[in-house]
Structures are given as structure tokens and as C-alpha cells.
Amino acid sequence: MLDITVIGAGPAGSAAAIRLAQSGHRVRLYEKSRFPRPKLCGGFLSPECLLDLDELGVLDPIKAAGASVVRRTVVSSPWGAYAEAPLPMPGLSLSRDVLDTLLLQRARETGVDVQEGTDGFNQVSNGGWTVVATGRKAETGRYFGVQAFFDHVEGITDQVELDLIPGGYVGFVTQGGRVNLCALTTQENLRDTGPALDAVLAAWALKNPLLGKRLRNARRASAWQAVGPVRMGLQRLTEPQRLFAGDAACIVDPLMGEGIAMGLRTSALIEQAFQQTRCPVEEAYAHAWHEQFDTALRAGAWLRKLFQPALIQDVCVAALQAFPTLLTWLAEQTRPPIYENLQPNSNRGAV
């Protein structure tokens, strides 16, 4: 039994705390905020999430909290091309304030000593194990994310939708009776449209016909949240007696829709690293992390670069429209190959 400190109570941190406590370790979880609190996130729980959520004991509470079922993927281009395909299994959608609160509650139930409103970095002593799950810290990068909830968005039902614009995209998914709009764009794109986010969104609506249709009667129902600059990709995985999880380890391209899934999965890799005895914990974790995620991350980075120029966006989406199975195939390339035992007939799915 070890004394382990976890810093950060997002999905990766709370999940790591739950698994480590269930393995018999003494775990203290620090979170500088007090829950519930708003968090910029698309909130899409891909089908790959569901096995981990069930193992953590929160899948049923998530469903009971009113998570929306997501059955389709939709992609559109600036020149009007449009493609859609069913997900191989339904996913879920839930706002991060609800998801994070449920995970933190579960951590308490498993015996984790939860300390809200406390900066864990000020509490850590030398000589103990620490899991850092404090989210993105990048100070350089060319990407910015913005998010808000909207009412009266036309045509958003059971899909996760990406409407491409030059240099980025606007995503939609239903959550709690409203629509979560989450967008990623470049510094250059924001500079060209000005600082007011409502005006930015209005300008983007003119650059994609389907996006314009979605927003025609839409009304913003929450304050804007923004984050950036963001540098995609691997940040760091280990230091002596310190493991990094979730966005603190790697900022996943939102195009993949796998940020929450990867955060949850790293908790299992951390648990396994402490359980094994073949090599140092840090080495075991880093090896398992790269084995699980590297291929999918390379595919996601390639897709992000491919989908930036408007002309290429249209050609790509037109190809997806002509061959819908290609959209499913592309989605599979950005999925870590780690949930092979979760089959379409699983009774632990979204519905």
C-alpha cells in the first residue's frame, strides 16, 4: 500500500484516484476549484468511454443524470459538402460540470480523501508518489478553443457534428436540453474576425452553409468560455515518482473526440503501472501509454492538418459524402485500439 497524491479532479484525475483507491492505496485528491464548476469541453463521451465509465462505477449515474445519446457523426465543408455516418455504437453527451461532479462523488465513495479549493502543488511533500492531472498548461501554440451553450439550434438531434471553416471547425452536440457549441480555430482566424466572440461566430456562419443554417435562429444561453493558446500533442508523461495524466500528459486534438476517453483510460494505465513489478513504475506507464495512444494521435494530427485549407476541406468532405464508410474508417483510425472487448451488443452501452 502506497500513499499517492493526485492533483486535479477532472476525468483523468478522479478516475486515477478511484482506481488507485480500489487497488488498496491511500489516495488524497486535490482540486483547486470547488465543484460543480463550468469547464470548456465538447462533453462527448465516445463509445470507447463506456467500458471505463462502467468499471469506475459511474455509467449508470451518468445515464440517470440525463446524458444525451449520440448515434451519428456529421461533417460539413465551407463549400456545402455534407457527410454523415452512424457511430459503430451509440455514445453519450454530458456537460463537464455534471460529469466531473459525478466522478468526484464516486472518488469519495471509494475512500479517496478529497480536498477541494486547495492547490495540490502546495501540499505535495518530497518522497511520495504524485499523479498530475491538472489539464492543459501550454503557453505557446496557434490554436484557441471557445465554447458556449445555445438554444434553438436547428437540426441538432442525435449527432455529433463538425462544421469545418478555414483554419478550424465548429462542433455541436446536444446536452441537457441545450446544444453545446465548441469550436477550435487559429490565432490568425480570431485576429481576422475581431475579439467579440458573438461577432466571430456570426462571421464563421457565413463561411459554411450548414453552420449558417444551424445558427439562423440560435440564441446563446450561457457565457462564452475560451482557452488558449493550445499546443496539441504530447506534453510530458513522467518525472521521478510523478506521473502525468489527461491533458497534463497530452493535449488531444478535439477533432478526434477522444479527449475524455483517453483521460479515463490513462487512469487504468496508471493503476497497472503500480501493480506490475517488472520495471520502474514510470517506465511501465510511459511504455503502456505510447503503445496505446501513439498511432491514434498521429492519425489525429494528420487529419487536423489535412482539414485546414478550405479547398481541401471540401474535397475531403465530398469524398466522405460519396463513400460514407470512409467516415467510419477515419474515425476508427483516431480511436485507440484499447476497447476490443466492448462489442455492439454490450449491455453496458449508451442505451
Question: Left (φ > 0), alpha (ψ -120 to 50) or beta: where does 155 sit?
Answer: left
Q: Which residues pair with 170 in a beta bridge?
A: 163, 183
Burial class of residue 278, CB neighbours in 10 A (0-12, 13-18, 19+): exposed
Q: Per residue in 256-276, pLDDT tens?
A: 778 899 999 999 999 999 999
| Residue with more model confidence, 305 or 160 | 160
Residue 340: what are its φ and ψ, rounded to 5°?
Answer: -65, -25
The contacts of residue 349 (CB under 8 Å, 6+ apart) are: 47, 50, 89, 90, 342
Identify the pLDDT of residue 298: 82
Q: Taking a C-beta distance cutoff of 8 angstroms, is the pair 97, 122 a contact?
A: no
C-alpha–C-alpha distance, residues 339 and 51, integer Å: 8
Q: Per residue in 50-95, pLDDT tens?
A: 899 999 999 999 999 999 999 999 999 998 899 999 988 899 999 9
Burial class of residue 193, CB neighbours in 10 A (0-12, 13-18, 19+): middle
The answer, yes or no, to whether residue 118 has pLDDT greater than 80, is yes
What is the bridge-based pairing of β-strands 26-31 and 113-116?
Answer: parallel
Q: Which residues pair with 6 in a beta bridge?
A: 29, 131
**What average pLDDT does the structure give for the chain?**
88
C-alpha–C-alpha distance, residues 165 and 203, integer Å: 10
- SS3 (DSSP) at 178: strand
C-alpha–C-alpha distance, residues 327 and 164, integer Å: 15
What do you get for the CA distance between the two ends of the chain, in Å? Answer: 38
Q: Taking a C-beta distance cutoff of 8 angstroms, is the pair 148, 218 a contact?
A: no
pTM: 0.90
Domains in the chain, please, with CATH? 3-138+230-340 (3.50.50.60)
Please, which pLDDT band fits residue 128 given cuts at 50, 70 and 90? Answer: confident
- SS3 (DSSP) at 80: coil
C-alpha–C-alpha distance, residues 94 and 175, integer Å: 6
The proportion of the chain whose per-residue pLDDT surpasses 90, expressed as a percent, equals 58
